[in-house]
Amino acid sequence: MNLLEIKNLSLFKDGRPILNNLSMDIWAGHVHAIIGPNGAGKSTLANTIMGLSGYRDFEGDILFEGESIAPLSVDERARRGITLLFQEPARFEGLGVSQFILAGAKGASQALAEESLAKVGLTPAKYLTRAVDKTLSGGERKRIELASIWAMKPRLVLMDEPDSGVDIDSVNYIFAIIKELQQAGSTVVLITHSPEVLRHADHAFLICAGTLVDKGEMSRMFDYFNGKCIPCVHVGQPVVDIDAQTLTSA
Amino acid sequence: MPNMTSAEKEQLLAELLASINQHKFEPDIAHIEIHGNQVLNKNLVEGLIVESETLEDGVKVRIRVLRGFTLKNPVHFCFGLIPDNGVQRIITDTVIEEGAHARFIANCTFPNAVNVQHLMNATITVEKGASLSYFERHTHGPEGGVTIVPITKVHICEDGRFSTEFELIKGAAGVIELDYAAEVDANATVDMMTRIFGRFSDRIHIREAAHLAGPGSTGVLTSHIALKNSATATIENELVADAPYARGHVDCKEIVQDKARARAIPIVQVNNHLAHVTHEAAIGSVDSKQLETLLSRGLTEDEATDMIIQGLLS
């Protein structure tokens, strides 16, 4: 079943196409990866799905559970169950870790904040009294971002470069929570150009210059990293893919 | 308490005393309550001397923390005026004697103010190796109606530490003319912080200044201001480093909404090549990345903005 459908999506910046007639289906309950070189349009795609400022004027359509979300604001999309892990999370002076984690889980108790921190390997007693500010390391900040996503229980999580700027311990916790989110019923889309991250997906899309050039099972997609586009073995190749049912049964 | 009958005054004072007595301070916690020009209540602890003198429109207070004493608990001061108009002038002379350590918490309450002036003139001396932490919280009514003029001069002697926090988040600020200046001797430290939420037609003028006069002295001046409606604010932070190894930082952040206006004037001056002073100032609307992060968790724009401002002012 398609949770998200991207239909003929084009987005221009300064007259230049960043996304170019892009179509893809995101199946519910799977971990998808969107891979491609720097500047391919991966983050632009995530920002456009989330509806961030500067990414709302596009051609085509984005359907969530069969309904267009194009007219919806960021918070309206979030309340439908879509959220985004930013590549470089914002820091908030004075805002408590607990308050931040529970921001997307209205009415939730402190126990959920503690559970969410534990999920990402951070000791609640050590972090709940701190602020989401510059005193946190990049890895801590990213794990707290993930804790807030865990507390939100989203339907669809877009993760933009989830491993960027984090140490090896943090990366392992990030990989673990990707799996746990999937097991809890969330659909995950990983935006990455890291083969390590790609290993945690079960299906991938390769985009280049804002265009979908290939999609399919993971094993096929590692060719991209092996070849590093030189020579490109994907562009011009027919898109060969399996369906969600086949992948699930495999 | 002008324009009040004596019966009204007595009733008001009785209510105030009853309110004060609701706060169950333990015997080892020092507290002083001043309403208008009267000291209503006072409890002192060993090592603390507080002498007061009634003025026509306020109170003169002399505070001493004796040499070598460390006050275990914070000393609580309560200043205020219950009527909707009047003047409260507080003149204080505070000395934290050599090697003594104290924390003061002042609550200033003007819940019904329509035309109230709260004028504070303070001199503070933190002697060698002593420390004082001073936290002042204002709670105003919704109408503004208060003019707050705290003028404070601080001398921090060698190895001394002084930190001050001024908070006005609840109620309308009214008019604030805050002027803090510190002289910082060798290896002494000053840390000043102001957190104010201005609303409606509030007018806020903050001046925080520190002179890092002694070698190894340090200073941090921080102002976090949020403004909405038609409130205006001017923040002047001045940090001058004259001595070797003096270190200082000025941090001014102002969030402006609606038709509010803000101005920041950071002045940093270094007169010794071994000193180092930095500053950062940011004025504008709520940071878009912070906002979009919270929006992507499902908060509305108003909810997200409130959360960011609460954080800045916390």
ipTM: 0.92
Which of A234-248, B45-59, B215-229 is the least confident region? A234-248
Query: Helices marked H in A105-185 — which ranges?
Result: 110-119, 124-127, 138-152, 168-183
Q: Quote the pLDDT of residue B111.
A: 77
pLDDT at B16 over 70: no
A238 pLDDT tier (thresholds 50, 70, 90): very low
Distance CA B130, CA B69 (A): 9
Query: Which residues in chain A touch residue B300, judged by CB atoms under 8 angstroms apart?
Result: 75
Q: Do B293 and A89 touch (CB under 8 A)?
A: yes
Q: Is B225 helix (H, G, I), strand (E, B) or coil?
A: strand
Name every chain B residue with its beta carbon within 8 A of the beta carbon of A90. 287, 289-290, 292-293
Chain A residues with CB under 8 Å of B298 CB are 75, 78-79, 83, 103-104, 106, 152
Mean pLDDT of B259-285: 95
Please report which confidence band the pLDDT of residue B170 belongs to, taking 50, 70 and 90 as the band edges.
confident
Spell out which residues of chain A touch residue B313, defining contact as CB-CB under 8 Å: 94
Angle at B4 between CA B1 and CA B7, to 5 degrees: 110
The per-residue DSSP string of B30-91 comes to: -EEEEETTEEEEEE--TTEEEEEEE-SSEEEEEEEE-TT-B-SSPEEEEEE--SSEEEEEEE
CB contact under 8 A, B314 and A90: no
Does A75 sit within 8 Å of B310, measured CB to CB?
no
| Confidence bin at A230 (pLDDT 50/70/90) | low
Contacts of range B15-18, beta carbons closer than 8 Å, 24 or more positions apart:
B15/B82, B16/B40, B16/B80, B16/B82, B17/B41
Q: How many contacts does A have with B, using Cβ atoms within 8 A?
A: 74
Residue A237 has pLDDT above 60, yes or no: no
Q: What is the gyration radius of the CA atoms in chain B, in angstroms? A: 20
For range A4-24, the mean pLDDT: 93
- Pick from A95, A129, A144, A159 the residue to mutate for testing the B interface (most B CBs within 10 Å): A95
Residue in B288, B293, B311 closest to A53 by CB: B288
Q: For A18-28, what is each residue's pLDDT tens digit? A: 999 999 999 99
pLDDT > 70 in chain B, percent? 93
Q: Do B313 and A94 touch (CB under 8 A)?
A: yes
Top pLDDT among A170 and A54 is at A54
* Residue bearing the bigger pLDDT, B18 or A50: A50
- pLDDT at position A191 is 96
* B94 has pLDDT over 80: yes
Q: pLDDT band for position A1 (50/70/90)?
A: confident
Q: B103: distance to nearest CA of chain A, Å?
A: 22
Max CA pair span of chain A: 54
8-state DSSP, A238:
P
pLDDT at residue A12 tops 90: yes
Is the pLDDT at B12 greater than 70, yes or no?
no
Name the more confident of B56 and A222.
Answer: B56
What percentage of chain B has pLDDT greater than the value 90? 76
Give B1's pLDDT tier (boundaries 50, 70, 90).
very low
From B293, B310, B311, residue closest to A86, measured CB to CB: B293
The answer, yes or no, to whether the previous bond of A162 is cis (omega within 30 of 0) is no
Contacts of A52 in chain B (CB under 8 A): 292
pLDDT at A177 over 60: yes
Task: Say which of A78, A94, A96 has its CB closest to residue B296.
Answer: A78
Range with the poorest average pLDDT among A169-183, B107-121, B162-176: B107-121
Q: How confident is the model at residue A229 (pLDDT cuts 50, 70, 90)?
A: low
